[in-house]
Amino acid sequence: QNFNMIALASKLATHELLEFRRISAYVYRCNKKWSHSIDLSKNDRMWKDCIDTANESSDAEIIENLLRFFCETSEKECFCAALYTCFPHVRPDVALELGWLNGYQHFIMPFLIQNTRQTFDRLQALEDRTKPPKEEDNQDQIAGTYSTLGGFSNGMLMIEDSGGMGGMMPPQQPGMQGGLDMSGFAPAGGMPQPGMMPNGGMPNPGMMPNGMGNPGMMPHGGM
């Protein structure tokens, strides 16, 4: 931070000792001057430094140029090593093209095998994630949906006496809404209607079937 690193790298680039020139390439690499670093390593035939710098750059164009350079210089082993090291950044069509044009089919085969396996794994994961659910799983899901509708049994709402609604009464049976049950029968388990006998609707004592008179009164107006 206290000196100009690029100026230092440019001075060391022409140094007579190899290790100082490697330091220059490394300084360029640390400052993301990828092309300068790779050119210095090419001049010194430091192929591993070239490959490591190209991989660190993650630049597909720089990596492809390095692969073409290895093909032009007939560095088959370096070409194969670059494919292995820079695998995530190399396009399969470029590797296949260079291998076919230069007769490097055997050197690109490991790359193609690994790429095919990676493609297969991705497609398999995509199919597993997008395939429709099984019929059994679908039925279980529907049953689970209905089971979450708690409080329903045979289509009727069940309210507990100690529930949070303050002891709500169950709905009254028909005929218990404050009016007279016209059928003449008391609801099951309930009290008879006013003026009606529990035995099927007989009138109260003293009441004639025609609705006349109180007890002790004659049907024709009394004595």
Query: pLDDT for 4-54, tens place per residue?
Result: 888 888 888 888 899 999 999 999 999 899 999 999 999 999 999 999 999
How many CA atoms lie less than 13 Å away from 24 in the CB half-sphere? 25
Residue 174 has pLDDT above 60, yes or no: no
* pLDDT score at 118: 92
DSSP letter (8 states) at residue 214: -
H/E run at residue 81: helix 76-85
User: What proportion of the chain, given as a percentage, has pLDDT over 90?
Assistant: 47
CA distances (Å), origin 221, targets 62, 156, 209, 212, 217: 126, 56, 16, 9, 7
* pLDDT score at 149: 62
More confident: 5 or 91: 91
Residue in 25, 23, 15 with CA at minimum distance from that of residue 54: 25
Buried b (16+ CB within 10 A) or exposed e, 126-143: eeeeeeeeeeeeeeeeee
Q: Which two tokens stand for residue 203?
A: 């009138």
Q: What is the pLDDT of residues 128-160, one digit of tens each?
A: 888 887 766 666 676 667 666 654 545 454 555
Residue in 88, 94, 78 with CA at minimum distance from that of residue 57: 88
Q: Does the global pTM surpass 0.75?
A: no
Residue 223 has pLDDT above 50, yes or no: no
